[in-house]
Amino acid sequence: MEKLKTLIVLFKAHTSVGNNVKLSLSDSVLTLNEFAVMEALYTKGAMRTQTLAESILIPNSSLTYVLDMLVESSYVERIKDEDDKRCLLINLTKKGKKTFEEIYAKHHQHMLKIFNALSDEEELELQRLLKKLGKKAEEVYAHETSN
């Protein structure tokens, strides 16, 4: 029964934090998926579409649409991969970087209001526990779906 309670607490926290993420972006020019793409590119640099999709957990079909919108807005560009001419890299433009930095500043301040509830040690422990739980969930899913 305690495991069920933990699951409910996890879902409620996920919903509450997710609602705040949406709120922090509500008056920006970006959708949540566009923000996720730009955040990944901002922190990790240019990457292939497949790597980007895996990084932000958006299906390729949805990512293509999001990238088209970001290219149309001149926030990202598709450039040839010098290592493999058959592939394209997705990269933030100067306009995209500037826009992301402006939006992220407000988003970050909003998220601090939530995460300041945790000490630095608690935050690290939460990260550790969530990674452990996520890894186990992936293992169970892979095992259950391979049969």
3-55 confidence digits (pLDDT tens): 899 999 999 999 999 999 999 999 999 999 999 999 999 999 999 988 999 89
Q: Could you tell me if residue 137 is inside a domain?
A: no
pLDDT at 18: 93
pLDDT of 136 strictly over 80:
yes
Q: Could you tell me if residue 18 is inside a domain?
A: yes
Residue type, 9: V
67-106 confidence digits (pLDDT tens): 999 999 999 999 998 888 888 999 999 999 999 999 999 9
Q: Could you tell me if residue 45 is inside a domain?
A: yes
Phi/psi at 91 (5° precision): -140, 145
For the chain, what is the domain count? 1
| C-alpha distance from residue 68 to each of 49, 83, 112, 130 (Å) | 12, 23, 31, 33
pLDDT of 1 strictly over 80:
no
> Residue 11 sits in a domain of what CATH number?
1.10.10.10
For residues 28 and 71, the answer to whether their CB atoms sit within 8 Å is no
